Amino acid sequence: MSYTSDEMMAVAAARALSGRQRVFVGIGLPSTAANLARRTHAPDLVLVYESGTLGSKPDRLPASIGDGILAETADAVISVPEVFNYWLQPGRIDIGFLGAAQLDRFGNINTTVVGDYTAPKVRLPGAGGAPEIAASCREVYVVVRQSRRSFVERVDFVTSFGHGTGRGDRERLGLRGAGPTLVITDLGVFRPDAGTAELVLTDLHEGVSLDDVRAATGWDLKVAPDLGRTRPPTADELAALRALKEASK
């Protein structure tokens, strides 16, 4: 069964979620992956959206963070201050699932500007909930389409803190969560090095070469010695993903 690189990315990201994990879900790719996981191998995932829904169980992909289906299918609907103060800040969420416009070699995220802040080349939407999601969730997973524009040596602006300039920065700043522990792109999977926290390629998606990944990485990429291969999407995973997308039209 043929599939696109975006489908591979969504499936790989969905597989990273399991059990009853409580997942703070951003809209877009993270939401697609989290809902796919809930519809396939992880039906008990707890999806939390920043619009104020705990335990949303949508049967299609929400069109926006405020899609009514998120509220209608939730265990509880709460205000936005409550989401951040009572549920995120004290560390009740396992996984923060984020996207990025730029991601750098230490997992720092930029969704604010390309270029200089005061005279930006491109003004991006901004922070939203991400800075505190990146700070307070036990772990952060990032899903991003990979290119030299998105995978950069150093982000133009740190909207959400990853590992700063290397291992130990989070501890020094008193951040409680572990930060980005997993990055999934349309080409492969990356994890921070145990020593330096630099993102290292640990898995290649099927049909992708190491050269493809290097060509889409804006730094001198390190590769894990036991580089793995992502299993291609199964027929069931693809069917579930396509059904979700179809239901969302």
Partner 1 sequence: MAEIATLADAVGELVGDGDVVALEGFTHLIPTAAGHEIIRQGRRDLTLVRMTPDIVYDQLIGAGCARKLVFSWGGNPGVGSLHRFRDAVENGWPRALEIEEHSHAGMANRYVAGASGLPFAVLRGYVGTDLASVTESIKPITCPFTGEVLTAVPALNPDVTVVHAQRADRRGNVQLWGLLGVQKEAVLAARRSLVTVEEIVDELTPVPGAVVLPSWAVTVVAEVPGGAHPSYAQGYSERDNAYYAAWDAISRDRDEFGAWVGRLTREGSARVTGKGGER
The set of residues, in sequence order, having a beta carbon less than 8 Å from that of 46 and lying 6+ positions away, is: 20, 21, 22, 23, 54, 55, 75
Tell me if residue 50 is catalytic.
yes
Residue 91: which of 42, 136, 151, 29 has the closest Cα? Answer: 136
- Kindly tell me which of 15 and 163 has the beta carbon lying closer to partner 1: 163
- Kindly tell me which of 52 and 188 has the beta carbon lying closer to partner 1: 52
- Give me the residues that bind partner 1 (CB under 8 A), please: 27, 50-53, 63-68, 70-72, 77-81, 83-85, 88-89, 112, 117, 120-132, 135-136, 157-161, 164, 169-170, 173-176
46, 54 Cβ separation under 8 angstroms: yes
- Kindly tell me which of 27 and 241 has the beta carbon lying closer to partner 1: 27
Residue 212 half-sphere exposure, CB side, CA atoms within 13 Å?
13
Q: How far is the CB of 119 from partner 1 (least distance, A)?
A: 8
197, 175 Cβ separation under 8 angstroms: no
Q: How far is the CB of 90 from partner 1 (least distance, A)?
A: 9
Q: How far is the CB of 78 from partner 1 (least distance, A)?
A: 8
Q: How far is the CB of 104 from partner 1 (least distance, A)?
A: 12
Q: How far is the CB of 30 from partner 1 (least distance, A)?
A: 14
CA distance 161 to 142: 12
Question: Which entry of 7, 50, 132, 198 is annotated as an active-site residue?
Answer: 50
- Kindly tell me which of 126 and 207 has the beta carbon lying closer to partner 1: 126
- Kindly tell me which of 124 and 239 has the beta carbon lying closer to partner 1: 124
Indicate which residues carry an active-site annotation: 50
